[in-house]
Amino acid sequence: MVSVEKAFELIMQNTLSLKVESIPFQKALGHILAEDLVADRNFPPFDRVTMDGIAIDFKAYKNGRRKFKIQEMQAAGDEQITLSSDQSCIEIMTGGVLPKNTDTVIRYEDVEIVDGMAEILVDIKQGQNIHLEGVDKKQGELVLKQGTKINASHIALAASLGKENLNVYVLPKIAIISSGDELVDVTDQPLPHQIRKSNVYAIETILKKVNAEITHFHIADDLENSVEKIKELLKEFSVLIFSGGVSMGKKDFIPEALAQNSVIEVFHKISQKPGKPMWFGKTDKNLVFALPGNPVSTYLCTLRYVLPFLEKSLGTNKGEFQKVILGENIVFKPKLSYFLQVKIINENGAFYAFPLKHNGSGDFISLINADGFVELPNSENDYFEKGKIVNFFAI
């Protein structure tokens, strides 16, 4: 067996070198940005008015003037006009360019306009209601880093930068393969000795966080059939993720079938609970994760190893895990790393983890009540004290 830390290190040494494609910015939602975006001009590109009202030269107000003759109006989208006298003002609309020779904007709500004269009714400050040119970003400055998962605000940003197309990473085709003669499809009515497939859908849903392109397959518990099916999958998919068939049972043929297809074993079994039987291997063109078939084990191993592997390949994984605080004392005697299902409670901004009762790694129903797993590292001490800070993996 390898330790959790060693297993993670070995996996991360084999991250993918991904292709990049250019796609229309409107279709980039959920993709991972493969380039830095920089400001092509100042943002905002001019002194921008943020309220409908009047623009004045503050010096006149400072010298006691409260009534200003309306010279003209400037709307958003109009070219900048010039205030001809500090005894006058210009009506200005939100989003418009601040008129030349003005430096302060007063809301309509704070003025009274009668017979072409605008009277200021409140105390004002110089420079108010103006979004200054370049205060958000200067031309040439970085606005969005490579490795960012693109959301709606990033789409709007790309449009404002004139980026008609964005370079994004292309994840490899991923096959998720269930194993086990006891499994039937979701639409089937299982016999008393059968269960419906669910692990593959849990894996797929977790990996959708990185917009992975996934296809499902099933392999019967037969060595010859497993060898042939894996041979086909290795030709078509860069990443294979198995669920089941990797433990010590007489029907667990996946490791042997992979070996017969020249997939090199990097490790088999991790000193952890749940998820101990996990297998990881590779060829020159493929990476293979073979996860235990128990649902909680599958879920945990996907969160702890497979998702971070894909995130690092995309440049979105910073190498740090979320941290939480143990909310109560925990005793765990086996010399293994222990991944415990927990509920998270926010107490004044601090996140505390409290263990949940469950019926082992086959109890996938228990996951619906969990916020995630905490990692209690393997150590000589079997006592984990309340208040200890530990890694957390959110469901």
Q: Which residues touch 191 (CB under 8 Å, ≥6 apart)?
A: none
What value does the mean pLDDT of the chain take?
94
Burial of 189 (0-12, 13-18, 19+ CB in 10 A): exposed
Q: What is the pLDDT of residues 238-247, one digit of tens each?
A: 999 999 989 8
Distance in angstroms (rounded) separating the CA atoms of residues 1 and 336 = 10
Task: Give the model's pLDDT for residue 363.
Answer: 65
What DSSP designation does 271 have? S
Task: Give the model's pLDDT for residue 186.
Answer: 84
Q: What is the pLDDT of residues 16-73, one digit of tens each?
A: 989 999 999 999 998 999 999 999 999 999 999 999 999 999 999 999 999 999 999 9
Q: Do residues 330 and 382 make contact, with C-beta atoms less than 8 angstroms apart?
A: no
Q: What is the pLDDT of residues 77-133, one digit of tens each?
A: 999 999 999 999 999 999 999 999 999 999 999 999 999 999 999 999 999 999 999
Rounded to the nearest angstrom, the gap between the alpha carbon of residue 196 and the centroid of all alpha carbons in its chain is 30
What count of residues does the chain have?
A: 395
Task: Give the model's pLDDT for residue 362.
Answer: 56
Distance in angstroms (rounded) separating the CA atoms of residues 221 and 119 = 86
Distance in angstroms (rounded) separating the CA atoms of residues 329 and 319 = 28
Phi, psi (degrees; rounded to nearest 5) at 269: 90, 130
pLDDT at 209 over 90: no
Name the residue among 251, 358, 374, 253 with its Cα closest to residue 324: 374
Domains of the chain: 4-18+171-314 (3.40.980.10), 19-43+135-169 (3.90.105.10), 48-131 (2.170.190.11), 322-394 (2.40.340.10)
Average pLDDT of the residues in 162-172: 94
pTM strictly above 0.85 = no
Q: What is the pLDDT of residues 228-287, one digit of tens each?
A: 999 999 999 999 999 998 987 777 899 999 999 999 999 999 999 999 999 999 999 999
Task: Give the model's pLDDT for residue 187.
Answer: 87
Q: What is the CA radius of gyration of the chain?
A: 31
pLDDT at 360 over 70: no
Distance in angstroms (rounded) separating the CA atoms of residues 342 and 367 = 9
